Every structure is written in structure tokens, then in C-alpha cells.
């Protein structure tokens, strides 16, 4: 809804709710990530994981702030990330920070989705207009908010979706260009060192892995070069001491245009070190050379499992041998590699687990660190409708990537699946300790 001359400007409040996962998780996983953080800091001192806070800034706030300001709205940030897990407390603080008629924006993840619904319904009673979007919006109903938006939000789609009420399903184009920039001033706090900062040269992915729950996936939207440059400058102004940036492109290298834009933007903004994530299928010597030119310090690479049958089931065939060759190429170039391991896939069998553990042990000298995830059937994953009838735990606070499965796997018991994940974590922990500097 555009602002009409002579009328009051629209106001939006972006609300970051607390997360149950900020509490300490399983002891073995906590110990692993203590070693992970220590090794990271040894070689990249700028990296840190804050205590009792979110691991990274809630960048959905920066993105949505850029969107609503493109509509000439006023906006604010209500940071409840450290608030108690209490509906009453959250409602009270949002009411104090807003006024009747304001739009109150939520982009919850699974762990605080239930809390978001409760808070939203209470705010409706207090005269606020609420919006629920993001990756969990598919499980919200028309009675949970003034407007539930399912799909990718842009200035145009937000404007079209808000007249409501009810649920708005936003269609997504196959290919497009992002021409607006996130705004970071609401996230900047004087004197506070931010955790990991993430920016995108493209959104989406042309691969079709069925375990992925990213709303941009299976589409590719390149960020306009000028918009990317504006975002880097905005980050520099908001966080002048930050020189380690995470490039959030789902698969670095699949968009030549996005890579060229990064090269052009950082060519005139030296001094940054980058973290990228990619897929073994797109890595070649030319891409590695580009990484080195860009100042890439760390390459995260999706691996998931060493079982080709499991990977074919989730539409990610890459082959154990092919991954090892790419690891060798990256390692030989002096790049630090973090391998993403995904436990708890629904088709996993005992032999799948054994093969993955064996691969971790074989590649100890090639892999710097491991990101460990246990699969969660988020609603935007293509696996969600397949597994829906097998989900036995609908308490969303338990939908965690460092916790036991919330669904019945096809070939394992829930307990066996969880024990296998912990064994993968223990193997990864031994691997990084065996190559750690003394």
C-alpha cells in the first residue's frame, strides 16, 4: 500500500524473537564446537562465536529494512533475542516499542515458530497489524496474523501481498535481478563487535537437493552490481572493524555474473577476507583461481553423506571420488575447507553411516573443519510432504539441527539415527584434533 500525500507514513517494526537453541546443547556437540571455534580463531582471529547471543546477526532484519524503505516506510528493530522465552514478556516489549496500526514483522525459524504465532495473535488483540513470513510461513494460518506471506519478499511482492487479510502465496520468477540493498543501521550497535556478517551476490540455487529448505532454492536471482557495492559500503559504515565476510550464495560459482560482480566490487574495496560455500560439481581450477583473487580464506562445501544411494535419493549425486578430487584441488591451492556433513537423512542405513565415517577418516589431511547438521524436515524442503506422516514431534522448539530426529527414518530407529549422528561428530572431533597445531 503506497503512502498517499498528506497521510501518515507506514511504520514497520522488525521483531527478532529469542531462540531455545541459545541454551547449551548436547555435551559432545558443545565440546566439538568449542574445538571448532578455537581452531578457527587460531588461523582467522577475526572469527568468533558470541556467548549467550545469536551466532550471527539476524540479517533478515537488514533485508526487510531495505525492502520497506524502498517503499518509503519508517521502520525500527525490536531485538528480543536475549529476552526470556515468554509470550507475555515478548508481547509487553513489542507493545512498548510500537503503536496501534503499526506493522509488526516476524520471520521465525522452527525453534521460535510457536512463540511467534502466540505473540502475533496477542498483538492482533492490541491493535497491531502483524506479518509472518520466512521459511516456516507455510505452517501458519490466516488466523495467526494480519497477513501470512509465503514466498520471496521484495518491495513489489510485499506491496501486493499486504492488502490481505489472510494468506498470500507469492509467485517466484525463475530468474531475476535483485536491485534493492539491505540496510544495516538498525543492527549496528556502537562499540559492539558483530558476529559473522553474511551478504549475497546471488540468491537461490539451480541444484534441486530435496533436503534444502531455502525459499530461494531452485531459482537464481543475481544481485545487481551497484546494489552489491552499496551493501558492502553499508556494512563498512555500520561495522568499520569487520573485515571477514561470509558470502551467502547457496552455491558460489554457479552464477558467473555474481562472481564477476564480487570481483569488481572487492577490487576497489581491499582488505576483506571472504568465506564462501559451494558444490563439488562447480569447482574447477578457474574458480579456485578466482577464489584466491578475491581473498577467500575458507571454502565450505556440501558433502552430506558418502553413500551415493542416499545422495541420489535426495537429488544430490556427486560421488565420493569426485569430492575427494575437489578437496585435493582446494587443499593444494592453500584454501581451508570446511565439509558440511548432514546426518539423519531419512534414507540412511548402517552402511551409509559407516561409509561417511570412513570418508571423514580418509580425508583428515584435506579437511580443516566440519559443519555438522542433523536433518530437520522444514516445510520448504521437498522432503517435508514425503515425511509429514512420519513426523511424531510437532513441538517446533525441538526442531534443531543439533538434536535427535523429529520423524521416523525409513531404515533406522530414531535412537539409532541419533547415535549415528553423534558418532559422526565424534569422528570429526578426532579428525580436527589430530591435525590441530600444538
Q: What is the CATH number of the domain that holds 363?
A: 3.80.30.20
Last residue of a domain, one of 118, 141, 169: 169
Residue 32 in domain:
yes
Neighbours of 34 (CB within 10 A): 12
Most confident among 51-55, 375-379, 423-427 (mean pLDDT)? 423-427
What confidence tier does 176 reach under pLDDT thresholds 50, 70, 90?
A: low
Please give the residue range of the domain that contains residue 188.
25-57+174-434
Is residue 356 domain-shared with residue 294, that is, in the same domain? Answer: yes
Of 109, 140, 169, the residue at which a domain comes to its end is 169
pLDDT average, residue stretch 288-305 = 95
183-195 average pLDDT score: 74
Summarised one tens digit per residue, pLDDT across range 268-282 is 999 999 999 999 999
Q: Report whether pLDDT(379) > 70.
A: yes
Q: Which three cell numbers stand for residue 87?
A: 509470550
Q: Would 4 be classed as within a structural domain? A: no
Regarding whether 231 and 270 lie in a shared domain, the answer is yes
Q: Which three cell numbers stand for residue 311?
A: 545422495
Residue 45 confidence (pLDDT): 87
Confidence of residue 31 (pLDDT cuts 50, 70, 90): very high
CB 94, CB 119: distance < 8 Å:
yes
- Residue 96: pLDDT over 50: yes
pLDDT for position 1:
44
- Judgement on whether residues 34 and 104 belong to the same structural domain of the protein: no
Supply the pLDDT for residue 187.
Answer: 87
- CATH number, position 160: 3.40.50
Confidence label for 4 from pLDDT (cuts 50, 70 and 90): very low
Q: How many domains does the chain have?
A: 2
156: which 3 cell numbers?
513489489
Quick check: 191 and 145 in contact, CB under 8 A?
A: no
Residue among 348, 349, 373 nearest 425 (CA)? 373
Residue 126 near residue 91, CB atoms below 8 Å:
yes
Gyration radius from the chain CA atoms: 22
Say if residues 177 and 184 touch (Cβ distance below 8 Å).
no
Question: Are 273 and 353 part of one and the same domain?
Answer: yes
276 and 360 inside one domain: yes
Is the pLDDT at 384 greater than 60? The verdict is: yes
- Do residues 143 and 292 both lie within one domain? no
**Average pLDDT for residues 194-223, to the nearest whole number?**
81
Would you say residue 191 has pLDDT above 60?
A: no
Residue 3 has pLDDT above 60, yes or no: no
pTM of the predicted structure, to 2 decimals:
0.89
Asked, for residue 393, whether it belongs to a domain, the answer is yes
Mind listing the pLDDT tens digit for each residue in 357-373?
999 999 999 999 999 99
Residue pointed to by grid coordinates 582488505: 271
- Domain endpoint, select from 126, 149, 169: 169
Furthest-apart CA pair in the chain: how many Å? 69
Amino acid at each position: 500500500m503506497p503512502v498517499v500525500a498528506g497521510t501518515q507514513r507506514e511504520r514497520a517494526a522488525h521483531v527478532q524473537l529469542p531462540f531455545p537453541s541459545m541454551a547449551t546443547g548436547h555435551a559432545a556437540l558443545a565440546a566439538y564446537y568449542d574445538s571448532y571455534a578455537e581452531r578457527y580463531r587460531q588461523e582467522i582471529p577475526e572469527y568468533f562465536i558470541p556467548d549467550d547471543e545469536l551466532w550471527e546477526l539476524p540479517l533478515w532484519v537488514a533485508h526487510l529494512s531495505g525492502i520497506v524503505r524502498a517503499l518509503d516506510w519508517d521502520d525500527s528493530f525490536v531485538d528480543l533475542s536475549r529476552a526470556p522465552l515468554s509470550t507475555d514478556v515478548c508481547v509487553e516489549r513489542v507493545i512498548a516499542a510500537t503503536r496501534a496500526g503499526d506493522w509488526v514483522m516476524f520471520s521465525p525459524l522452527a525453534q521460535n515458530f510457536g512463540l511467534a504465532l502466540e505473540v502475533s495473535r496477542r498483538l492482533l488483540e492490541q491493535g497491531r497489524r502483524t506479518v509472518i513470513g520466512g521459511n516456516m510461513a507455510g505452517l501458519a494460518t490466516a488466523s495467526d496474523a494480519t497477513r501470512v506471506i509465503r514466498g520471496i519478499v521484495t518491495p513489489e511482492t510485499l506491496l501486493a501481498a499486504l492488502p490481505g487479510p489472510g494468506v498470500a502465496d507469492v509467485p517466484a520468477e525463475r530468474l531475476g535481478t535483485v536491485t534493492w540493498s539491505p540496510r544495516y543501521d538498525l543492527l549496528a550497535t556502537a562499540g559492539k563487535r558483530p558476529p559473522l556478517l553474511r551478504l549475497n551476490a546471488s540468491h537461490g540455487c539451480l541444484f534441486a537437493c530435496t533436503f534444502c529448505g531455502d525459499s530461494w532454492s531452485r531459482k537464481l536471482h543475481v544481485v545487481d552490481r551497484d546494489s552489491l557495492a552499496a551493501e558492502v559500503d553499508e556494512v563498512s559504515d555500520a561495522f568499520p572493524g569487520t573485515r571477514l565476510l561470509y558470502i551467502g550464495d547457496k552455491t558460489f560459482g554457479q552464477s558467473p555474473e555474481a562472481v564477476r560482480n564480487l570481483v569488481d566490487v572487492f577490487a576497489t574495496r581491499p582488505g576483506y577476507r571472504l568465506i564462501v560455500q559451494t558444490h563439488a560439481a562447480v569447482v574447477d581450477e578457474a574458480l579456485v583461481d578466482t577464489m584466491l583473487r578475491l581473498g577467500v580464506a575458507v571454502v565450505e562445501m556440501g558433502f552430506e553423506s558418502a553413500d551415493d544411494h542416499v545422495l541420489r535419493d535426495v537429488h544430490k549425486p556427486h560421488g565420493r571420488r569426485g569430492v575427494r578430487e575437489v578437496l585435493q584441488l582446494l587443499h593444494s591451492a592453500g584454501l581451508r575447507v570446511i565439509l558440511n556433513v548432514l546426518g539423519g537423512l531419512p534414507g540412511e542405513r548402517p552402511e551409509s553411516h559407516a561409509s561417511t565415517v570412513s570418508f571423514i577418516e580418509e580425508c583428515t589431511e584435506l579437511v580443516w573443519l566440519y559443519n555438522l547438521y542433523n536433518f530437520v524436515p522444514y516445510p520448504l524442503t521437498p522432503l517435508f510432504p514425503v515425511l509429514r506422516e512420519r513426523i511424531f514431534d510437532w513441538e517446533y522448539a525441538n526442531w534443531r539441527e543439533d538434536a535427535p530426529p523429529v520423524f521416523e527414518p525409513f531404515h533406522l530407529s530414531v535412537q539409532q539415527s541419533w547415535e549415528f549422528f553423534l558418532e559422526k561428530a565424534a569422528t570429526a572431533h578426532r579428525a580436527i584434533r589430530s591435525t590441530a597445531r600444538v
